[in-house]
Structures are given as structure tokens and as C-alpha cells.
């Protein structure tokens, strides 16, 4: 169930209206706002107008959407990243990220409160535990917890979880910041790869100092280089810049070959004009003030496989 469909169902149940009537109101609201808001955003406005609140409801992860202020979910922790320390405006703090999943989707959770972080540091909550989150807030596709949020172990048993991100197939003219999308289009321009230093232990960016490079987790390190590759994707109606990091680049070409001029040129010639499926998150590029897609998965379009899928759908 996609986010929008799940939200419509929730609003219909909460308001007593038919789902078709809720959708009609959503489309009317979207038209009134001249298309400046997504269907999901318009649905949240309609929910508020109908007095339907999600504040005290436990939601499935597939039902979460950017902008939700009071999020209540239960999920199994499938990945935990190391606790990071930071300094901002002269103040020091800690942050930890992890992913939770249920049978519908998965989501990144960000902890900022020291009491919540202590549960991770002290091993009271570990990978594989099912946790309950209340009063979290959505920032794009992430759940952020403050000191006013609840974070604890849950007795709920979750056996099967979805570790792949749910995406919505869209046209480029429809994409908006915060969405997880799948786009089919042509590679029409490729930029030269850029390289940056990372810690060999954790893979996070290493920052230069007077004596070499420093990793926030592992101190002084001898970094290795990772690549960033950008190209322009065009679907016939619009175009967008897409961003690939190391793991995604390797789905097309071994990363180290990007440093070889001949292999890079051969790859550029082979990829230009190629039709691909791109799945990823829509982000706002602050430098250029436009949206771009940060790729999670990329694959060349297999025409025969695509025809087979379409034939099955038509039966």
C-alpha cells in the first residue's frame, strides 16, 4: 500500500466518508492551490479540515509522510550506526541514526536526546529489538526524536520486515522534495566524477587538519577516496540532476575505473542515451535551489523484461 492510498483509507475511516469522496476533495484542494502541493500534502490538509488527527494513532511505516508532526510507530531495528559527537555554535552534542522496519516499509530514525542515545550506548536497545516511538516528527523521509518524544522497547513481535524502501513511480514533473520515487528516463548528460576522502573503517567523510585527516569516530586516519557521479536524466517531459555515490556507481561500473581516463570515456560513451530506471530520494540542492534525486538503485531498462511485465498486467 503506497503512502497516499494508506492516508486516504485512514481519512475515510476517521471521517465516515467514502474513499472516493475523500479523493475528490483532495483533488479539489490540489487544484485550488494551483498544483503547488502534492496529493499527500493536500490529503493532510483535508484530514485536518475533517477533524481527523493522526496524533494518537499508531501508523505503519508506509503511511508516514513529510510534514507529519506527531508520529507514533512500532518497528524492528535493522541497522544501527555509531553514535556521533558534534559541535555547533559552540555547543557539543551527540546524535545517532538507525533504521527500523515493519511489514510495510522501513525508515531512518534520528535520536538527538541524550537519554534516548544512552539506551543505545548502554546496550539496552540493540539491533533486532522492536521499539516503540511516540511523538516523533517527520523531516523529509526521516523520523526525528526530541526530548519530548518517547523511545522504548516494545513487546510487539514483528517477524517479517521490509528492508527495501517503498517507492512511487512518477514522472519528473510530479516529483517533490521528500518523496521516494522510481523514474524511467534517458541519460542525456554526464559530469566528470568527483572524489572525496573517507575513513577506511566506517566509510564516513574524513576532514583534513594540519597533520592529515580526521574521522569523527576513529580519529586520525589514512583516508581512501570515494566517488560521486552526477548525470542528467530526461523522461521526455522534464529533466533532473541525479546523484550517485559509491555503492550506486558500482551498479553501473567499478568505482576505481572512473580514475582511468580511457575507461571513463568508454563508460561515458556507453551510458549516454541509455534508458534507465532510477530509484531514490528527492532532495533539495541548496546551492542550485532545485530538486535532485539521490539514487538508491539504478538499472538499465531491459526492454524484453519490461514487455513481459506489461503483458502480465494486461491479463
Is 2 a residue whose pLDDT tops 60? no
Confidence band, pLDDT 50/70/90 cuts, at residue 314: low
The domain made up of 168-314 is a member of CATH 2.40.50.140: yes
Mean per-residue pLDDT for 16-42?
A: 85
**pLDDT tops 80 at residue 4:** no
Q: CB atoms < 10 A from the CB of 111, how many? A: 25
Main-chain dihedrals φ then ψ at residue 18, nearest 5 degrees: -70, 150
What pLDDT score was predicted for residue 1? 38
Using pLDDT thresholds of 50, 70 and 90, give the confidence band for residue 312: low
What is the structure's pLDDT at 89? 67
Query: Which residue, chain included where needed, has cell 532510477?
Result: 278
Name the β-bridge partners of 186: 234, 275
Answer yes or no: is pLDDT of 96 > 70: yes
Which region among 36-50, 103-117, 175-189, 239-253 has the lowest average model confidence (pLDDT)?
36-50
Q: Which DSSP category does 149 fall into?
A: S
CA nearest to 28, candidates 47, 42, 41:
42
pLDDT at 200 over 50: yes
Residues 136, 138, 142, 144: what is their CA dihedral angle, to the nearest 10 degrees? -40
**Residue 123 pLDDT > 90:** yes
pTM recorded for the entire structure:
0.59
- According to CATH, the topology of domain 55-164 is OB fold (Dihydrolipoamide Acetyltransferase, E2P) (2.40.50)
% pLDDT > 90, the chain: 48
pLDDT, mean of residues 56-85:
86
The per-residue pLDDT for range 207-242, each reduced to its tens digit, is 888 888 888 767 888 998 999 999 999 999 999 999
Strands 91-101 and 150-153: unpaired
Structural domain boundaries of the chain? 1-53, 55-164, 168-314
Identify the CA nearest to 163 among candidates 103, 225, 252: 103
Mean pLDDT, rounded, of the chain: 87
**According to the per-residue pLDDT averaged within each range, which of 58-72, 171-185, 203-217, 232-246 is highest?**
232-246
Q: Which of 7-21, 58-72, 184-198, 297-311 has the lowest mean pLDDT?
A: 297-311
Amino acid at each position: 500500500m503506497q503512502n497516499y492510498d494508506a492516508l486516504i483509507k485512514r481519512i475515510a475511516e476517521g471521517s465516515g466518508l467514502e474513499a472516493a469522496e475523500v479523493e475528490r476533495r483532495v483533488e479539489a484542494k490540489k487544484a485550488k492551490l494551483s498544483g503547488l502541493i502534492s496529493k499527500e500534502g493536500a490529503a493532510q490538509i483535508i484530514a485536518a479540515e475533517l477533524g481527523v488527527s493522526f496524533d494518537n494513532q499508531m501508523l505503519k511505516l508506509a503511511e508516514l509522510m513529510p510534514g507529519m508532526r506527531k508520529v507514533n510507530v512500532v518497528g524492528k531495528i535493522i541497522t544501527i550506526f555509531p553514535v556521533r559527537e558534534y559541535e555547533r555554535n559552540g555547543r557539543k552534542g551527540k546524535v545517532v541514526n538507525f533504521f527500523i522496519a515493519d511489514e510495510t516499509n522501513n525508515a531512518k530514525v534520528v535520536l538527538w536526546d541524550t537519554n534516548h542515545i544512552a539506551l543505545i550506548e548502554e546496550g539496552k536497545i540493540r539491533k533486532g529489538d522492536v521499539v516503540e516511538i511516540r511523538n516523533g516528527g517527520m523531516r523529509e523521509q526521516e523520523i526525528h526524536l526530541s526530548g519530548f518524544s518517547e523511545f522504548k522497547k516494545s513487546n510487539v513481535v514483528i517477524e517479517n520486515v521490509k528492508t527495501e524502501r517503498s517507492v512511487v513511480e512518477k514522472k519528473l514533473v510530479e516529483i517533490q522534495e521528500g518523496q521516494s520515487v522510481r523514474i524511467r528516463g534517458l541519460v542525456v548528460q554526464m559530469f566528470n566524477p568527483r572524489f572525496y576522502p573517507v575513513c577506511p573503517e566506517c566509510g564516513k567523510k574524513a576532514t583534513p587538519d594540519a597533520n592529515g585527516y580526521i574521522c569523527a569516530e576513529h580519529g586520525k586516519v589514512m583516508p581512501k577516496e570515494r566517488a560521486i557521479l552526477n548525470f542528467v536524466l530526461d523522461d521526455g517531459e522534464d529533466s533532473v540532476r541525479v546523484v550517485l555515490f559509491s555503492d550506486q556507481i558500482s551498479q553501473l561500473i567499478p568505482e576505481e575505473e572512473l580514475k582511468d581516463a580511457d575507461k571513463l570515456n568508454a563508460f561515458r560513451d556507453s551510458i549516454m542515451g541509455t534508458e534507465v530506471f532510477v530509484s531514490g530520494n528527492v532532495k533539495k540542492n541548496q546551492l542550485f535551489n532545485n530538486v535532485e534525486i539521490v539514487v538508491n538503485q539504478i538499472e538499465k531498462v531491459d526492454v524484453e523484461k519490461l514487455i513481459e511485465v506489461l503483458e502480465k498486467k494486461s491479463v
